[in-house]
Chains A and B, each alone.
Chain A
């Protein structure tokens, strides 16, 4: 295993009441367990407020973690000594949704891609001059882009530059947070193909976060479905998409508009909206919108249980065995 996440919990302080008098905290990730093997793609899906982006930020140390353990190649990411931080975290790089806000508008493409090499004193200046064009070629850009600024790039080109920069330090894991959400369909296809090739050639593992289930399905080996800070179902991609078991996963997949509406089994849509993570429902978090809700679901929170080929958090599934 490349990475083991155990009991990861993240809370944000929330200020409530008149003039912020009452303080409380909002748990946005609760006891999250995930595993990621080398060279594998784990797709993380869920609606807004499910905690997908917080998960990415927590792995990169961008938000404080309340408790839990992230073991990455044997090192505990959350308890690294300062000296080790640089050595371990260079193995994890991130690509965000909007490439224009991820690139410094004043830096040329060359400097943007060279920056991690310089920051980590990875290479001598002459080596950087050679290595940066090589990285651009890896992502399908010619050296003529070296002198451009971000505003001279199309969305797809800018996202390629971000990928080149992420690859500069030879990471083991790329966290991809909605990397194609801001792109047009035809460009999205190019970036998805590029991601597949890079993974093959560099043995990269991807943590692929997206609300677009068709994109996640295209790239992922395994899927984790999140709801209000918890994983409700996870397992191999074919299983989750082909035979979803958790009522929430079933409804979520039903909601995706496809090119072939005639293949759809039902026209039902989830009734309620997502409750605020600040006030999670009692019992099973999905119960207010679950079509199969039972009395027990309102009272007791189901544990994440293992079935043949997946894990799921649902009383009905546990009972059915």
Chain B
């Protein structure tokens, strides 16, 4: 790995709602290195999709964004709006959960892809077609010549997602933001798409920010992971240590509640209660009301950041600053 590509620092997003200000992100911080697959995992409403969209600047007008997003150490906020757009458009790519909805049904795959290729590189005619074909080939579609003339509905979900990835690669981005890219797909197709993402990161040095609710997908694909809860990263570190030795009670609870072969015919441990709404003021730890090990301090004091190994951190009152 060669240094830091993306750094998100203290990202906060508030929405104005008829019921008051809803705090969707309450200070999200993490960093993605060049060429790595980084997992952003959490349950619905934790802010994982919003984090991805805020990095791309795709937030609705009623959102107030604070905090910073930097690429290669350069804060995007310091750029002119025009330059910022260029940087995002060129260096970031995004793919979504439902490729069938993200593709335009009335244009062929070739037409849609060519439009994007043309935007990023002024190619025409034969060169343009060749580049489109190369992209389709790179995402593992067997016969690009046929796919180019196909309409999205001719393709299976897995093939559509490959086309989406190909389009996202058109600008040769350094970071691909993949928001639940395999949730709508069968497990066998999911395995193919995940292995494609891994290949892209290894062979083409494209970093992937993989947003998912599926811990298994993270374990199979990512090198490092951040666990989000109520708009905050509660734990971040290498997948191997976070999953084998989770420190935050929420991470522990989530992992314990997964059905696994060893727990067959047993009751699964559950996390009681529900995720707090963005409208609630959370002076202390957002997880405290649901936490088995909550201390008095958890209710009204924000938990400190605790570092274990240099790259594994959590926000929790249970550990002192030396990580015990």
Contact = CB atoms under 8 A, between A and B. Distances in A.
B187 A211 contact: yes
Contacts of A251: 188
Contact of A214 (B44, B190, B195, B260): B260
Among A184, A185, A215, max chain B CB count under 10 A is at: A185
Interface stretch (B27-35, B173-181, B250-258): B250-258
Nearest to B212: A257
B189 interface: yes
Interface stretch (A61-69, A111-119, A187-195, A296-304): A187-195
A47 B270 CA distance: 28
A255 B43 contact: no
A255 B191 CA distance: 6
Main secondary structure of the interface of A (DSSP, over half): helix
A48 B188 CA distance: 11
B188 A218 contact: no
A188 B194 contact: no
Contacts of A48: 186
Nearest to A181: B183
A214 B259 contact: yes
A218 B254 contact: no
Interface residues of A, number: 35
Contacts of A273: 156, 158-159, 189
Contact of A189 (B187, B189, B257): B257
Contacts of A192: 259, 268
B305 interface: no
B254 A185 contact: yes
Among A192, A196, A259, A261, max chain B CB count under 10 A is at: A259
Interface in B209-225: 213-217, 219-221
Contacts of B264: 217-218, 237
A231 B18 CA distance: 53
B192 A269 contact: yes
B267 A193 contact: yes
A184 B270 CA distance: 12
B270 A193 contact: yes
A256 interface: yes
A251 B187 CA distance: 10
Interface in B251-293: 253-255, 257-261, 263-265, 267-271, 274
Main secondary structure of the interface of B (DSSP, over half): helix
B216 A269 contact: no
A88 interface: no
A257 B194 contact: yes
B258 A259 contact: yes
B258 A214 contact: yes
A175 B268 CA distance: 22
Interface string A145-169: 0000000001000000000000000
Nearest to B264: A218
A47 B259 CA distance: 20
Given A193-B270, A241-B261, A259 B216 contact: yes
Contacts of B190: 255, 257
B319 interface: no
Contact of B214 (A154, A252, A257): A257
Interface in B29-54: 43-44
A250 B44 CA distance: 32
B243 interface: yes
A106 interface: no
B22 to A, nearest CB: 17
Contact of B259 (A190, A218, A237): A218
A185 B215 contact: yes
Contacts of A215: 259
Nearest to A241: B261
B223 to A, nearest CB: 12
A270 interface: yes
A198 to B, nearest CB: 13
Nearest to A275: B156
Nearest to A253: B187
A269 B258 contact: no
A37 B210 CA distance: 43
A280 B189 CA distance: 19
B269 A261 contact: no
B43 A186 contact: yes
A243 to B, nearest CB: 13
B286 to A, nearest CB: 14
Contact of B270 (A154, A189, A254): A189
Contact of A218 (B263, B269, B270, B271): B263
B216 A258 contact: yes
Nearest to B158: A273
A102 to B, nearest CB: 19
B188 A255 contact: yes
Interface of B: 43-44, 156, 158-159, 186-192, 194-195, 213-217, 219-221, 243, 253-255, 257-261, 263-265, 267-271, 274
The 9 residue pairs across chains A and B that have the minimum distance between CB atoms: A257-B216, A218-B259, A189-B257, A257-B220, A189-B268, A184-B43, A47-B186, A255-B191, A269-B191
25 contacts: A47-B187, A47-B189, A184-B43, A185-B257, A188-B257, A189-B270, A190-B270, A192-B259, A193-B268, A214-B258, A214-B259, A214-B260, A214-B261, A251-B188, A255-B191, A257-B187, A257-B191, A258-B216, A259-B215, A259-B219, A259-B260, A267-B195, A269-B191, A270-B192, A273-B159
Given A154-B274, A258-B220, 13 more contacts: A185-B43, A185-B213, A185-B257, A189-B269, A192-B268, A193-B268, A217-B264, A251-B188, A256-B187, A256-B216, A257-B220, A261-B220, A273-B156
